[in-house]
Amino acid sequence: MTHDTIQLGLFLSSPYECSYLPNRQARSQVVVQSHWITTPIYSILIEDGFRRSGISVYRPRCSRCHMCISVRLIVPEFVPTRTQRRIFKKHAQTLTAELIQQPYFDQEHYALYERYQRLRHAEAAPETTPQVYEEFIVQSLINTQFVCFRDEQGVLRMVSVFDRVENGLSAVYTFYDPEYPGSLGTYAVMYLAKLCTQWNLPYLYLGYWVENSEKMHYKLKYHPLEYYQQGQWTKDKPTL
């Protein structure tokens, strides 16, 4: 870590079930003083491979596995594919985006989140309650914002949660109506890349890429990516 964050204490979590690869145990290195985390401090931590879940800031620290690789999109060099351009154009014409700069609990948002978890992640998702939702989605000590997408009838179809850090945006979580057609997840990434361009931010952090995890494979559809390896960001895809 840099001199700005060296005073933060870290602890190694107990083993828990890996959420990316089956039949594996994982461990995380977690920041002790989570209440100290501000946007400038988190901007340094995310550069060093950390992510957050609610107010908890962590990075993977598994003794025998190093598959979790932080990735970020270099937005000024991003050239969407034909399919991505088509998806963006379609939804931009039918969905209206609303930016919420101060996250709060909203029953409509929660209902969509609960529906998304129930229909898309029924086997893997933890218990979904308003408290769990608020701790995971709403609680934050940094500059976290929501962008909500509504159709032409005003129905909420998608919510994308992101953090604004000093050199980019970090995609935290996106949930949407699973029965709404047209690759909403792709549109969410494209929309955040658009916000990066509008706000003159060079990077869109996409979280961890795990080579053998199908649900993480979509991140390779956006390029050029940088991968965080051995303390450095590089365009070279890791050989694991």
User: Whose CA is closest to 136, among 166, 176, 103, 184?
Assistant: 103
Q: Yes or no: say if 9 and 33 are a contact pair by the CB < 8 Å rule.
A: yes
Residue 1 has pLDDT above 50, yes or no: no
Yes or no: say if 60 and 26 are a contact pair by the CB < 8 Å rule: yes
For 72-234, the fitting CATH number among 3.90.1170.50, 3.40.1190.10, 3.40.630.30, 3.30.365.10 is 3.40.630.30
pLDDT in tens, 85-143: 999 999 999 999 999 999 999 999 999 999 999 988 766 556 789 999 999 999 999 99
Integer-rounded Cα Rg, in Å, for the chain is 18
Where do the CATH 3.40.630.30 domains begin and end in the chain? 72-234
The b-or-e profile of 110-134 (16+ CB within 10 A means b, else e) is: bebbbbbbeeeeeeeeeebeeeebe
Model-level pTM greater than 0.85?
Answer: yes
* Cα separation, 69 vs 55, whole angstroms: 21
Q: Do 81 and 221 meet the contact criterion of CB atoms below 8 Å apart?
A: yes
Residues 185-217: tens digit of each pLDDT: 999 999 999 999 999 999 999 999 999 888 899
17-26, 36-45, 97-106, 162-171: which has the minimum mean pLDDT?
17-26
**Highest mean pLDDT pick, 159-168, 212-221, 229-238:** 159-168
Mean local confidence (pLDDT), 156-167: 99
Instruction: Indicate if the pLDDT at residue 26 is higher than 50.
Output: yes
